[in-house]
Amino acid sequence: MTTVVYPGTFDPFTNGHADIVKRAAALFPRVIVGVAANARKAPLFALDERVALAEQALEGVSGVAVIGFGTLLMDFIHHHKARVIVRGLRALSDFEYEFQMAGMNRRLDPTIETLFLPAAEPDGALSSSFVKEIAALGGDVGPFVHPAVKAALTAALR
Ligand code: COA
């Protein structure tokens, strides 16, 4: 039973993230969405809110658990006995950062593989930062996020 971890800050979780999770869940029996505390990014939503929003956005998707963590990703992976890190790749610009992160993680534990899934066509330009900016300026983020995330953004940015 291969467990995979899809890690990210998810501030907030978008439809692009949900697409990656659903595709990973079709390939592997157990997918853990690892929500990183990532204070470095100064997230808009607290860790427990980001976990709750991802859970709502993924309701009904079987084989998926959403868990927050504030440790090294590799410690989180070991704790949950996972074997694979899944990451989404949107554009070539993502590649350098992702390649570096995969390389550092491989240095920490060469037995853990990083697997990249290409973002689906409509999600190529989607990012949590753009979603927050559009919401903050009164734009409609409905096409990009689950209704629960849209409502949370409206409340947080009011
Ligand atoms: N669809 C939509 N958006 C996507 C996407 C997709 N398929 N794939 C990535 N993104 C966006 C995210 O929304 C995010 O946008 P933002 O920067 O505007 O907020 C951006 O791409 C990347 O963010 P995310 O996927 O959340 O990753 P991250 O770079 O914020 O987080 C961690 C990276 C959490 C995996 C990494 O920091 C980590 O492992 N932290 C734990 C500590 C650790 O072990 N550090 C050592 C690592 S070697």
Per-residue pLDDT of 99-138, as tens digits, reads 999 999 999 999 999 999 999 988 888 999 999 999 999 9
Given a cut of 90, whether residue 46 has pLDDT beyond it is: yes
Which pTM does this prediction carry?
A: 0.95
**Residue 41 CA: which ligand 1 atom is closest?**
30
Alpha helices in the chain (DSSP H): 15-27, 47-57, 73-79, 92-108, 128-136, 147-157
Cβ 38 vs Cβ 68: under 8 Å: no
Residues within a 6 A CB radius of ligand 1: 7-11, 14, 16-17, 20, 36, 38, 41, 72-73, 88, 90, 101, 104-105, 119, 123, 126-129
Among 28-37, 64-73, 80-89, 116-125, where is mean pLDDT lowest? 116-125
The CA 155 to ligand 1 mean position distance, Å, reads: 24
CB distance 76 to 58 below 8 Å: no
Nearest protein CA to atom 32 of ligand 1, as residue: 8
Is the pLDDT at 1 greater than 80? The verdict is no
pLDDT tens-digit readout, 74-85: 999 999 999 999
55 φψ region: left (φ > 0), alpha (ψ -120 to 50), beta (else): alpha
Taking the C-alpha atoms of residue 128 and residue 149, their distance in angstroms, rounded to an integer, is 11
CA distance 140 to 5: 31
The rounded Cα 96 to chain-centroid distance in angstroms is: 18
